Amino acid sequence: MPSVDQYVATIEAKGGKTVLPKMAIPGVGWLAYCTDPDGNIFGIHQADPSAR
């Protein structure tokens, strides 16, 4: 399963930008917000119960 880090790298390589870097949601996982090349914002999530 790809990680948030891998997805962020792919998004940036294709012209998107990170607007809120990866952060932990303790006990749930990891979250980051990005924009696509048109400026639309979206979030990506990776489940990881050990996130702190």
Q: What is the pLDDT of residues 6-49, one digit of tens each?
A: 999 999 999 999 999 999 999 999 999 999 999 999 999 999 99
Domain ranges of the chain: 4-47
CB 26 within 8 A of CB 18: no
Distance CA 25, CA 52 (A): 7
- Judge if pTM exceeds 0.85: yes
* Beta carbons within 8 Å of 19's beta carbon, 6+ residues apart: 33, 34, 35, 41
Distance CA 11, CA 38 (A): 12
pLDDT at 2: 86
Q: Which class in CATH covers the domain with range 4-47? A: alpha beta
Helix (H, G, I), strand (E, B) or coil at 38: coil
Within 1-52, where are the H helices? 4-13
